[in-house]
Structure 1
Amino acid sequence: MANADAAKEYGVNSALETLPTAMYLFGMGSGALFAGPLSETFGRNPVYLTSTFGYIFFVLGSALKPNFGGHVACRYLVGLFASGTLGSNGSSVQDQFSFVGRTFAFPVIAWANVAAPVIAPIAGGWIIDNDKLGWHWTEWVTLIISGTAFLISFLFLPETYLPKLLDWKAAHLRRLTNDQRYVSQHSRNLKQKSFGQRLRSRLSLPLKFIHTEPVITVLGVYLILLYTLLFTFMSGFDQIFRRAYNLSAGQTGACFGTIAAGATSFMFAVPGLYLGARRKAHLTKDATLEPEFRLYPGFLAGPLLPAALFWLGWTDVGRIPMWSVLGACFLFGLVLMALYTSSYGYIVDSYGTHAASALSAITMLRYIIAGGMAMGTRPLFTLPGFGVQWTMTVLGGVAVLLAPAPFVFWKMGPRLRRRSLFAVSPRPGPGEKE
């Protein structure tokens, strides 16, 4: 919401309005390469707390009044340090919950990841509309929220990575017994290699996943499309609402609430998915199911994604009431949440102990490419003869091609995991040997 005002204040071309958003996404993508592997080496908490501490300082840099180059650089570094949390939070869910428990817990984390970027512009729009505040206050409010979250995490967030917990337990037993034989496997592995060797080996994992894992490649493309759409919406709402319906910045920001409402409405389906998981697991708390169970929301959401995009594109005209476009945004929010939960849940269950590296790979892909696409698609909204209608039509056409992906993984997933070097081996199918 602040991009246009920031560009105006710094006297830069309107074509560069989306550059701060794109640089934030590039920072998220490049940082995600490190987040997962580092959390598997040092534990989740050191990554969360260290990265958030750095993130707060660069939000402060954005809130102060640098030149445009300084503002863009701060936005990149904000994204770089923010990736410490987004790159590992799915793995923290896996650390703490069984398969059945993750059915309920992961959508809560996914909701925070999906809804927050579309709730923030609601406040941002009204802040910008207030002459006494201005766009810098979008950064100050972010700083206040982030600082509070950091303090709460620093005081109360527990470590969840099991190998790290076993390191601590072994160290405690050594102190109690003075017996140096108590050493965890994780600690033993760390001693066999230098820090540089460990880091190189861990950082290469996400790149290997992109190279060798079809699950990561295809779901990565799906999530790239979703995040391209999300951040295209964020940069294109001026065209979709503000100019088409002559709305103020505050009213335009409030329109993002329909996407958040759609994402929130998916949560009503979560108890049903949880009960379904429990029944399929024969009401056993610690039972496991095949990762394909996570694909159920995607079966319905896949075909609805192009429907939402075509609906939005071809009813975004002044003579059609704005409620139609808001309905399309609501459906997009619902679909976004369903596909995000389905894709991430499938990856976490498929890759087990390697889930952090798998999530790093897919996070890196989606943010770097979405950053480039957010810049590339923004001019399409204002291109004569193209506009909102054809921009959404092109993106909807891509969504049509990707709609069968959940069905393909339902059929091919076990075979792909069996061939993978990193995935959890599936149970044999009918007629197959153990």
Structure 2
Amino acid sequence: MSPDTIIQSAYDKGEGEATRPSSLKDPEALPVDGRKYPGRGTLEDPFVVDWDLGDPENPFNWSRLRKWIITLQLAVGTWTVSFCSSSYSGGLGPMSAELHISREVAILGVSLYVLGFGLGPLLFAPMSEVRTDRPVFLITYSIYALFHLGGALGHNAATILSTRLLAGTFGSSPLTNASGVIADMWVARDRGVVSAIYATAPFMGPVIGPIVGGWIVETRLGWRFNFWLMFIFSILALLFGFIAMTETYAPALLRKRATKLRRESGGQYHFISIHDIGRHKSITQTLKLNLRRPFLFLATEPIVLFFALYISIVYATLYAFFAAFPIVFQQIRHFSPGEGGLAFLGVGAGVVLGTSLAPYGNKLYWRAMERSETGIAPPEARLYMPMMGAILCPVGLFWFAWTSTPPIHWIVPILGGFPFGTGIAQIMQGLLQYLMDTYTIYCASAVASTVVLRCTLAAVFPLISPTMYAHLGPQWAASVFAFLSLACTPMPFLFFKYGPLIRSKSKFASSQMAGATLIPSPLETVQEKGGPHAQPLKI
């Protein structure tokens, strides 16, 4: 087992602190900065900079309050971007009339924005692995906020649609980089609840957007105020980022420490981050490699490919509803735009329930840790909730499909959104946690692979939904999405059984997880393990 594996294993057991084995320390190393570093301090044999036991600069050892503030900032940034994707839909009717465009052209504003979510990660996720997170977020989010002014001030469809595409592209960085930041700070034992809470943002934003956008259109403020509200929310999220965002990526932090130590020694000694040992590629070469990696993952990693397909289908179905709900509730049932937006409350309530079940999923994960001989739970322990969600999603979609028209009361299809919302929350949370546990330092690229695919489908589904509803009718059009979800239902069950075998053949999967398997046992009471640093997460 390599030194890096030893340290990562300690983290995955739930231990917030770890140190490099003493056998790696050079007994003749000179004390620098109050510490002893392996090496001689020469150009040929530089001092190797790594974390010490209890190192306060190690993100795993930061206070819970600090880590929660950073996590909250990520959630706020992601929620804002997601909210802006759908609040636009509340003003489709008035905007189409004022700009003299068809409703299909107006819907392009949703599709192009979401398509930008898929384009941005191709650049921003690789940048975050070179990385520093803070500059990537602050620069891209600043540009993102400004592009909302194109919709607020633009006088033609071309201006509005082009700025929507650019806004989605530059606003996408928190959608992919957040997973890496969470993995940088939270040990695997705590990561389940944290990831579940964060993963709510990409779904609650789109659900709340049409509600707010619909009621704004009915006031004197008009449809353009939707864009001003997007701009205001984006500026507030950006200010929160300026205050709370900090670097969490261990290679970047250790590289910075090595540079600082060399400067403080007056250039007398040479220092190198442990992550840079044997690294011969330039930043440009590394960036190019990381740029290809999301596509490489989709082409060579079955885990990423199948989970990306599953996440894409449920995520794109949610965005298809932004075109389908106005048809079902406004055209067929004659709701106002504001009332039509309220129809999303069923989905929103389901997302809240799905998130609230996260602590139970985390308990199952802890039990898997207890049963493991190594104290490390395999990623398959993250799949309990997705297996439940895989059943709920098609149930909710078929429910909505076959109750969507009169004489069935309008509340019935809205209630059908409840199991669908619960299911997508459970699927999104569990599958993203599985990817984070499986790919560790490559998780940003693994998640970027899913984002690229899911946002491409999410851009297409709203465009084809009106045509499907016109030609197939409300019941069968919605049933198409239900059948797609039903076809994906076996995936979490199959990976629960065969995941260890598939991971063992992966080039990118974390080495200490490669052979980890679940050991069946009764659902005994959870007993915490791992000493003082392995306490359960307190919310």
Shift of 1:428: 5.4
Alignment match, 1:335? 423
The aligned amino acid for 1:399 is S
The verdict on how the C-alpha distance between 1:62 and 1:188 changes in structure 2, with shifts beyond 3 A counting, is farther
Matched, 1:197 2:285: yes
- Does the residue aligned with 1:88 lie in a helix, a strand or coil? helix
* 1:392 maps onto 2:474 in alignment: no
Q: Which has the higher relative contact order, 1 or 2, with Cα contacts under 8 A spaced 6 or more apart?
A: 1
1:172-191 pair list within 5 angstroms: 172-178=260-266, 179-186=268-275
d(CA) in 2 for partners of 1:315, 1:95: 45
> Is 1:27 the equivalent of 2:113?
no
Using structure 2 for the length normalisation, give the TM-score: 0.76
Distance 1:66 1:189 in 2: 55
Deviation, 1:114, is: 1.3
Provide the secondary structure at the position in 2 that maps to 1:164: helix
Q: What is the identity, as a one-letter code, of the residue corresponding to 1:279?
A: R
Which amino acid is 2:482 matched to? G
Q: Give the AA of the match of 1:60.
A: L
The answer as to whether partners of 1:114 and 1:263 remain within 8 angstroms in 2 is: yes
Task: Select 1:210's aligned residue among 295, 298, 301.
Answer: 298
Tell me the equivalent position of 1:61.
150
What does the per-residue CA deviation read over 1:296-319, in whole Å, with 9 as the maximum and x for residues that have no partner?
011111122111111101001121
Shift of 1:331: 1.4
- Indicate the percent of aligned positions where both proteins have the same amino acid: 29
Q: Look up the equivalent residue of 1:388 and give its one-letter code.
A: P
Q: What is the DSSP-based 3-state SS (H/G/I as helix, E as strand, rest coil) of the residue aligned with 1:422?
A: coil
Q: Map residues 117-136 of structure 1 onto 2, 5 A cutoff.
A: 117-130=206-219, 132-136=220-224
Deviation at 1:378, TM superposition (A): 2.7
Q: Is the CA contact (8 Å cut-off) linking 1:232 and 1:378 kept in structure 2?
A: no
**Structure 2: distance between partners of 1:315 and 1:73:** 37
Deviation at 1:327, TM superposition (A): 0.8
Q: Distance in 2 between matches of 1:16 and 1:154?
A: 36
Cα distance in 2 between the residues matched to 1:188 and 1:137? 53
Q: Is 1:86 aligned to residue 175 of structure 2?
A: yes
Displacement of 1:391: 0.9
CA contact (8 A) 2:405 2:474 kept: no
CA-atom RMSD, angstroms? 1.9
Please say if residues 345 and 414 of structure 2, whose CA atoms lie closer than 8 Å, have aligned partners that are also in contact: no
Query: Is 1:362 aligned with 2:447?
Result: no
Q: Specify the alignment match of 2:382 in structure 1.
A: 294
Structure 1 match to 2:394: 306
Question: What code does the residue aligned with 1:400 have?
Answer: L
Task: Report the alpha carbon displacement of residue 163 of structure 1 after superposing the two structures with TM.
Answer: 0.8
Distance in 2 separating the partners of 1:152 and 1:100: 27
Note if contact 2:148-2:230 (Cα within 8 Å) is conserved in structure 1.
yes
Partner of 1:242 in structure 2?
A: 330
Residues of 1 paired with 2:293 and 2:269: CA distance?
32
Q: CA deviation at 1:245?
A: 2.0
Structure 1: runs of 5 or more not aligned? none
Distance 2:274 2:151 in 1: 43
Q: CA deviation at 1:255?
A: 1.6
* 3-state SS, counterpart of residue 396 of structure 2: helix
Q: Distance in 1 between matches of 2:447 and 2:168?
A: 16
- Quick one: which amino acid aligns to residue 101 of structure 1? D
Aligned length: 425
**Structure 2: gaps of 5 or more residues:** 1-89, 519-539
Q: CA separation in 2, counterparts of 1:188 and 1:411? A: 37
Pairing of 1:422-433 with structure 2 (within 5 A): 422-425=508-511, 426-427=514-515
Partner Cα separation in structure 1 for residue 501 and residue 164 of structure 2: 42
Between 104-113 and 364-373, report the one with greater CA deviation.
Answer: 364-373
In terms of fraction of residues, the more helix-rich structure is 1
2:191 is aligned to: 102
C-alpha deviation, 1:20, in angstroms: 0.8
Residue of structure 2 in register with 1:4 after alignment: 93
Report the equivalent of 1:416: 502
The residue number in structure 2 matching 1:407 is: 493
Moved more, 315-324 or 177-186: 177-186
1:165 Cα deviation (Å)? 1.1
